[in-house]
Structure 1
Amino acid sequence: MSTVETVDADGGGSLHQRILSDISEKILSGAWAPGHRIPFEHELTTEYNCSRMTVNKALSQLAKAGLIERRRRSGSFVRQPRSQAAVLELHDIRIEVEALGLAYHYERLKRLKRRSNAEDRALLGLSAAGSLLWIEGLHFAGERPFALEQRLINLSAVPEARDEEFREIAAGPWLIGRVPWSEAEHRIRAMAADESVADALDIDPGAPCLVVERRTWSAEHPVTHVRFVYPAESHTLVARFTPSQG
Structure 2
Amino acid sequence: MRADRTPPAAGPGASLHVTIREALESRILGGDWPPGHRIPAEHELMGLFGCSRMTVNKVLTELAANGLVERRRRAGTFVSKPRPASALLQIPDVKAEILALGARYTFRLVERAVRAALPSDRARLAPGGTGEVLGVTTLHVGDERPFALEDRVIDLVTVPDARDEPFRLDPPGTWLLAHIPWTEAEHRIGAAAADGATAALLDLAPQAPCLVLERRTWAGGAAVTAARTLFADPAYRLVARFQPGSARPEGASHKNGA
Q: TM-score, normalised by structure 2?
A: 0.62
**Cα separation, 1, equivalents of 2:87 and 2:232:** 35
CA distance in 1, matches of 2:119, 2:127: 9
Mapping 1:179-190, distance limit 5 Å: 179-190=180-191
Residue of structure 1 equivalent to 2:139: 138
Aligned match of 2:65: 21
Deviation at 1:239, TM superposition (A): 1.4
Greater relative CO, 1 or 2 (CA 8 Å, sep 6+): 1
Tell me if structure 2 keeps the 8 A contact 1:149–1:229. yes
After TM superposition, give the deviation of residue 22 of structure 1 in Å. 4.1
> In structure 2, do the counterparts of structure 1 residues 206 and 79 end up closer, same or farther at CA, with 3 Å as the change threshold?
closer
State the distance in 2 between where 1:80 and 1:186 align.
14
Is 1:32 matched with 2:77? no
Whole-angstrom distance in 1 between the partners of 2:125 and 2:223: 6
Distance 2:62 2:99 in 1: 23
Alignment of 1:19-168 (within 5 A): 21-23=65-67, 25=68, 31-34=81-84, 78=85, 81=88, 89-127=90-128, 129-168=130-169
**How many residues end up aligned between the 2 structures?**
182
- The answer (yes or no) to whether the contact 1:183–1:218 under 8 Å persists in 2 is yes
Q: Given that residues 216 and 227 in structure 2 are in contact (C-alpha distance below 8 angstroms), is that contact kept between their aligned partners in structure 1?
A: yes
Query: TM-score, length-normalised on structure 1?
Result: 0.65
Superposition CA RMSD, Å: 3.0
Deviation, 1:90, is 1.4
Report the counterpart of residue 220 of structure 2 in structure 1: 219
Q: Which residue of 2 aligns with 1:173?
A: 174
* Partner in structure 2 of residue 43 of structure 1: none
In the other structure, the counterpart of 2:209 is 208
Unmatched 5+ residue regions in structure 2?
1-53, 71-78, 247-258
Aligned to 1:233: 234
Instruction: Describe the shift of the 1:160–1:207 C-alpha distance in structure 2 as closer, same or farther (beyond 3 A).
Output: same
Which residue of the partner structure matches residue 66 of structure 1? Answer: none
Runs of 4+ displaced beyond 4 Å: 17-20, 78-81
The answer to whether the Cα contact below 8 Å between 2:95 and 2:174 also exists between their aligned partners in 1 is no
**What SS does the aligned partner of 1:186 have?**
strand
Structure 1: gaps of 5 or more residues: 1-8, 35-77, 82-86
In structure 2, the CA distance between the partners of 1:238 and 1:30, relative to structure 1 (3 Å rule), is farther
Give SS of 1:233's match: coil
Distance apart, 1:242 and its partner CA: 3.1
Summarize the Cα distance change of 1:196–1:169 in structure 2 as closer, same or farther, 3 Å threshold.
same
Query: For residues 152 and 192 of structure 1, what CA distance do their matches in structure 2 show?
Result: 21
Deviation at 1:97, TM superposition (A): 1.4
